[in-house]
């Protein structure tokens, strides 16, 4: 499987941007999946536990785990991971997201309920 890296950055105005990069290909904007849940029509955020971080958590998990597991786990992922990202930016791999999800399924990080 090709390495996938998700990066959150801010432009000069402080607007949050999230990209997905596969191998050495150019990064592309990550689909925020507002079609599934529209927590934040103004875009993603991170570093706290609000609606923008919920949208980002949903987008990341759906992209990595698929719709069913992504929807089931995103609020917990928001609280445990996305809220802890530095305000300035972040980088996380699909592999790290999968590892977190495996830990949840094995009861290592709490439960999805």
Note whether 24 and 5 are within 8 A (CB). Answer: no
- What is residue 38's predicted lDDT score, i.e. its pLDDT? 96
Span 57-72, average pLDDT: 97
Contacts of 80 (CB under 8 A, 6+ apart): 100, 109, 110
pLDDT per residue as tens digits for the range 8-55: 999 999 999 999 999 999 999 999 999 999 999 889 999 999 999 999
pLDDT per residue as tens digits for the range 42-61: 899 999 999 999 999 999 99
Helices (H) and strands (E) in the chain, counts: 3, 4
Q: How far apart are CA 84 and CA 90, in angstroms?
A: 10
Span 73-82, average pLDDT: 98
109 pLDDT band, cuts 50/70/90, is low
pLDDT exceeds cutoff 70 at 111? no
Give the residue carrying structure tokens 């996938």: 4
Q: What does pLDDT average to over the chain?
A: 93
Sign of the four-CA dihedral 73, 64, 33, 54: positive
């Amino acid at each position: 499987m090709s390495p996938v890296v998700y990066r959150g950055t801010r432009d000069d105005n402080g607007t949050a941007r999230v990209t997905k990069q596969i191998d050495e290909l150019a990064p592309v904007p990550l689909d925020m999946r507002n079609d599934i849940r529209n927590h934040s029509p103004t875009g993603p955020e991170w570093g706290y536990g609000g609606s923008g971080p919920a949208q980002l958590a949903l987008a990341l998990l759906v992209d990595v785990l698929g719709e069913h597991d992504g929807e089931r786990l995103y609020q917990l992922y928001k609280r445990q991971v996305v809220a802890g990202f530095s305000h300035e930016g972040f980088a996380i791999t699909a592999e790290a997201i999968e590892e977190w999800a495996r830990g949840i399924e094995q009861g290592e990080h709490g439960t999805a309920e």
